[in-house]
Every structure is written in C-alpha cells, then in structure tokens.
Chains A and B, each alone.
Chain A
Amino acid sequence: MRIRILLLVAVLLPGAARDAQPAGLRPPVKTLTFAVGGAPSELDYWEELLREFTTRTGIRVELLRQPTDTSLRRQTLSVALLARERDPDVFLMDVAWLAQFAASGWLAPLDPYLGRDGCSGRDAFFPRILELADTWKGRTVALPLYVDGGILYYRTDLLRKYGIPGPPATWEQLKEAALKVQRGERRDRPGFYGFVWQGAQYEGLVCDFLEFGGADGGVETVGGQMIVDTPGNRKALGFMADLIHKYGISPPNTYTDMREEEARAFFQEGNALFERNWPYAWSLHQAPGSRVKGVTGAAPLPAFEPGRGTACLGGWHVGLSRYGDATAEGARLIGFLTSREVQKKLALRLGWNSGRKDIYDDPEVAERLPYYKELRAVIERARPRPMVPYYSQVSEILQRHLNAALAGKSSPGEALAAAQREIRDVLSRYD
C-alpha cells in the first residue's frame, strides 16, 4: 500500500503540474506519450526513432523513461492505468503480464487500426504468438515488438576438441557431453562446469522449468484448473535437480545465484560448455573482450525425446491505453513501431528479435545477425507461460517450490504436489 501511494503521488504530480498551465500555453498539437524502459543507450535510440515519427506525421511524442527492471516498469504502468491517467498512451508490456493488463480492461483493442493507415495487418506477425499472447477475448490488444525464446549456447571449440559431432538434441546427450568435457577441462580449469542455466528463485526459473519439460511438460489448464503436477513436469524437475546434485555438471549456486546475467558471465568467462539463455546474450558473447568470441554456437534447446524441445516465449509487446487522450495518434505510433522498416532498424541497432516474419527473410539482417536464421525456428515453436491474469501469483508459488526442489529441500513430486495445492487455493480466490 505504501508503495502504491508513493507511486500514485509520483505519477500524479507531473500530471497535476501540467493541468495547472493556463489553457493558452498548451501546445495546439496533441502530444502523445510513449513509455519505455531500458539501458540509457536504448532510450537514446528510442528518442531518435520518435523524432523520425514526428517529422513524418507531425504528431509530437513525449518519451516517458522507465527503469530497466521489469517489475518496476510494470508497477509504474499499473499505477497510472489504475488511476485512469491519460498518460502514457502507448507502452511496452512484458508478455508475462500482458494477460493481467488485458483482463483489467486497460488495453484498447487494436483491430480497428490493423491493416490501415500504414499499420500492418495481423498476417505480418507470427500467427501463433499473435493468437496465444496478443489476443484477449477475440480482440487484438497488443502487437509483438520483441519476441524472445530460450536457446542453447555451446562452445564450438570444445565440442570439436572432445570429438562431439554437434549440439545435443536430447538432455541425455547434453548430460553425456557435459560430463565428458567437464572431466577433461577441469584438469586446467577447476571451476569448469558443463551446463549453466537459471535456477534462482525468480521468474526466470519458471521459464527454464517449462523448457526442460519441452512439449511433454508445461502447465495445462483443464476445466478452469491449472495442472502442474504431471509425469512430464516431475521428470523435468528431477533432471534439473540431478544436474546440480547427482551429475554435478551445473554449479552448486545454480539455485541461489543463477539468473540471466550470472549465467551469461559464467559462460562468457569460458567456464562452461553449455548455457541456456535468451538471444540477447549472443551479441555479448561475440563482443570484443569476450573469452568465447568466435567459439560460441547457438542451437534450439534439447528435450527428452528428439524434436520435442520448446522455448519459453518472452519479450515485449506494445499496447494502447484505454484511458489515453491520443488514441488515434497512439495507434499510428504502434503502426510505425511495428512497421517493417522500424523493426529492421531495431534488429540491427538493438539486436531485437522482431515479431514480424518478414524481418527473418531480410538479406541484410541475415548477413549482420547470423543467429537470426536459427532463431526463427525457435520462436515459431515458442510457448507462452500461462496467459491468465493471475499468472504472477501462480508463478510465485511455482518459483518457491521449484527452487525448494533444486535446493534438495523437497523431492520433485512433493514440490509439484504442494505447488498444485497452493495454485488451486489461489484460483479459488479469483472465482
């Protein structure tokens, strides 16, 4: 509550100050507000894009700079929308909270604008993602601006050195390769591990868990109930715990420290053979100063059976506020941001993976970003986390119990059964 009030004050104050201006001083043109977060360099690039939009359309856009942290970005948006603020008009949402925003009625349907006024139609985007993530009760409420899926990074030099033909197709192959290489490499590098991934108690753990299960795991919704305690999921969680405790190919601090950046740094220091991470790590692994530059490969994640692998869908989607005061202008900005031209620029400049299919066929993108080809297959098979408005509550429970199983505090079966019970209780609160 305290945080909510503080944020309310923080969001409302600038609004109040603007209202206090005499009417005559107001700019005659409507001003659009666009909220986005990220690193300073990214935000500078957004400014550049917005200036271009203004030059072309004459619509002024104000950039509302948000923090980098995902849950802080979510909070600032929630508070503004909860208070039915007129700003921001357009904003980015993580796919993990898109459903909550849609179900809260905060998003204006985009259907009237699609395919008109320079805005692409639904068919420009990956149909599965649009269907599973951006459609709420039959309406298009967002468009994918940046799509993401977990991939497997591997050391090409080490695979060659130990005579392993290529990246693993199954978890069993991954385990064997990791054991072999780890044994050999430890002679020179005692801190070398076979496989790093995200196991700390946070959202990323849920993504990794869903990917370990692949097409045989996951969270199913049956008759209004969410099913997590399945044989496929038990197998996945058991394997995750075994990687740390039984095979010893994932570091002991996997379940305490390992998030995206920790795993990336570990691999980038040359201390691991395999790494599960998002595509953003690619350009950093290949950057000057990286110890794995030129010897890193990327492949789709394995599964227990070949061809059953999936990726957890991540990424950012752009939406239009229902309470904004410049809805039509906002829709034009969304059309601009999701256009082929801008999406290509975002791919080349920020390394963003487009939600548009045609970017993956672009020869210039293919030349500059060689991993993009692989990525298309990963993204087409990516599965979103449960698209339910109370996903955060479900995720909190899953994180806690999955992490307990990784810590060896409970068996995979106990952990999933307990999670199942608690999820049922949460759902009963939202009847």
Chain B
Amino acid sequence: MRKDHDLRELLKGYGFLAPVCALLLAFVFLPVAGTLLDSLHRDVTFLPRRFIGLGNYRSLSSDPGFWQSLRFTGLFTLVSVPLELALGLAFALLLEHPTSARGFLRAGVLLPWAIPAAVSGRVFELIYNVQYGLANALVTGIGLSEGPVHWLGTSAGAFLALVAADAWKTTPFVAILLLAGLSAIPEDLYRQAEVDRAGPLQRFFRVTLPLLRPVLVVALLFRTIDSLRVFDLVFVLTGGGPGGSTTSLSLYGYRFFVGGDFGYGSAVSVVLFLLAFMLSLLYLRASRFGREIA
C-alpha cells in the first residue's frame, strides 16, 4: 500500500517535470545536437552533404578571420564584464542608500537596459560620428582635441567604443541584480559589525561582499555568456570593422549561415558554445555555487 503511494508520488513528480524536460529537449538539446552534427558535415546548399569529421574545425584552425574574431570576442568579454560588474556594484550601493527619490532613481537606472541593443547601437553610432557626433562636440568644445576625432577609425578606438556602449547598456542589469542581493543582507549584521567597531571599508569587505557572492556569480555568469555572444551591438555600430577587427564570433558565424555554408557556420557556433559552457562550469566550480544555494 505504502509502496503504491510512493510510486504515485514519484510519477506525479516526473509528470510535473515532464513539460520542462520536453521544452529543454526541443529548444535546447536538439538544436545544440543538430548544430554539432551539422558542424561535422560539409553542409553547403550548393554541394551534396557529406560527412567530413573534424574537417570544418581543421579549416577553422587555419582561418585568420576566425582567429581574429575569437581574439576580439575574448578580449571584449575580458574588458567589458569586469567593468560592468564594478560599475554595477557601485550603482547598486548608491541605490541602496535610502533617499526619497530611490524608487524614481531605480526605475531611471534601468532605462538603458530596456532599450534594444540595435537602437542603442544606432544612438552610439551618431554619438561617435566624425562630422556631427556629440563625442566630438564635447572634446573639441572643452579643448581636449583640436580637430574632430575619428573614434571608430582605429581598431583600438572601435573596440573601446563598443565596450563603452555595452557598459552603458548592461550596467543597469548588473546593478538591479546586485541591488536585490544587497537588500537580502540582514540589517543586524551591519549593526553587529558596527558594534564590533568595523569601519565602512571593513563592513564592505567582511559583510557585504561575502554575502553578495552568490548574486555576483549569477551576474558574472549572465554577463559573460551575453558578451561572448555579442552580435547586435557590433552589427549596428561597427559592422565588424575596421578591417574585421571588431567581428565577434557570432557575427562571423552568422555570415556563413547567410552565405549558405551551414557546416562551417555551425562549427563556429559550436566553438562559441563550448567556450561559454566551459567558462560557466569554471565559474560555478570556483564559487562553490551549488553548496551555497543549498
């Protein structure tokens, strides 16, 4: 009798899980497996499909365009994510501070995040424009530069312009996430620390930061994956130029999909997927994420 009951409970449990599993299977595992399979084929619309093993990956390894985009994507993630986390944390701490305008400020900070990246890319394109851009009006106006600066004209300039635009857009996301984490830290701990004569810096490093860590890891994870996949901002702001120096991996792969070479494009996607997947695993491990949640 009791066993029957357990079985029913068990079935009920799996029943509840089934829709999620089906969705994951249909929209995550199958596409990933399909892409993986495609990447092992010469899958070109104008030639017969043929299994070529790791042939696409071998071609990738000697493709300067691929290495250039891998370098850009890695560097972009490495620079933009820490910057966004630091700025986001600063904003979160400021917004935590009780003022009468807190609600208004919190909503205001979220605005850039609510604007689609394609739109903010266009806006930044106008800001950086040589002839009539705001950035040039500023630097020439305050005398920092005599003539107009061609912001997007060099690889380094275009790179920094992208980082700035990305930080502007995604810092609010980090800030809101961390703000939620901050408000979950009990007031008592701070009061106790004050009783123990801990200064503001000590309170921040001994209380705030350790208790914020799980949320920080989540923010780091989201931002890393997102910035590895960066597409829309680059597509609109620089188009991958100058000279391909700001072509992200997803933009590089996308061009092969448009050109009808699904096998090669898939290989680029798989590399990107593995990169994101391994970094995520690394983060979760390093932060002992699972244990803390439990």
Asked if residues B260 and A3 are in contact (CB atoms below 8 Å), the reply is no
Q: Is B42 among interface residues, defined by CB-CB distance under 8 A?
A: yes
Which residues of A lie under 8 Å from residue B255 when comparing CB positions?
A: 392, 396
Minimal beta-carbon separation of A78 from chain B (angstroms): 7
Q: Is the interface of A mostly helix, strand, loop or mixed?
A: helix
| With A252-B130, A256-B152, A429-B42: A393-B244 Cβ-Cβ less than 8 Å | no
- A251→B152 CA distance, assembly (Å): 13
Q: Are B65 and A422 in touch, CB under 8 angstroms?
A: yes
Is there contact, CB below 8 Å, between B243 and A400?
yes
Interface status of B84 (Cβ within 8 A of chain A): no
Judge whether B131 and A390 touch: CB under 8 Å: no
> Is A418 at the interface (CB under 8 A from chain B)?
yes
| Contact between chains at A418 and B64 (CB < 8 Å) | yes
CA distance A251 to B130 in the complex (A): 9
Do the beta carbons of A389 and B260 come within 8 Å of each other? Answer: yes
Residues in A whose Cβ lies below 8 Å from that of B259: 100, 390-393, 396
One of B62, B153, B243, B269 near A404 (C-beta < 8 A): B243
Pair count A-B, CB < 8 A: 135
- Residues on B with C-beta less than 8 A from A393 are 256, 259, 261
Judge whether A257 is part of the interface by a CB distance below 8 angstroms.
yes
Q: Which of B38, B155, B256, B265 contacts A409 (CB 8 A)?
A: B155
Cβ proximity bits A366-406 to B, threshold 8 Å, 1 near / 0 not? 00000000000000000000000111110011011101111
B80 at interface, CB cutoff 8 A: no
| CB neighbours of B244 from chain A (8 A) | 201, 399-401, 403-404
Instruction: Scan residues 235-275 of chain B and give those whose CB is less than 8 A from a CB of chain A.
Output: 238-245, 247, 254-262, 264-266, 269
The verdict on A222 contacting chain B, using a C-beta distance below 8 Å, is: no
Contact of A401 with B243 in the complex, beta carbons under 8 Å: yes
Task: Give 30 CB contacts A-B under 8 Å.
Answer: A1-B35, A1-B257, A1-B269, A2-B31, A5-B31, A82-B45, A100-B260, A104-B260, A201-B242, A252-B130, A253-B131, A256-B153, A256-B242, A389-B46, A390-B46, A393-B256, A396-B255, A397-B65, A400-B240, A401-B243, A403-B244, A404-B245, A407-B243, A409-B155, A409-B242, A409-B245, A418-B64, A422-B64, A429-B55, A429-B264
18 further A-B pairs in the complex, CB-CB below 8 A; given A400-B65, A406-B242: A3-B257, A103-B46, A201-B238, A201-B242, A251-B131, A253-B131, A253-B150, A255-B241, A256-B242, A257-B152, A391-B259, A399-B244, A400-B240, A404-B242, A405-B243, A407-B155, A422-B63, A429-B264
Chain A residues close to B by CB (< 8 Å): 1-5, 71, 74-75, 78, 82, 100, 103-106, 191, 200-202, 251-253, 255-257, 389-393, 396-397, 399-401, 403-407, 409-410, 418, 422, 425, 429-430
For A256, list chain B residues within 8 Å (CB). Answer: 150, 152-153, 158, 238, 241-242
Query: Which chain B residues numbered 30 to 77 have a C-beta less than 8 Å away from chain A?
Result: 31, 34-35, 38, 42, 44-47, 55, 59, 62-65
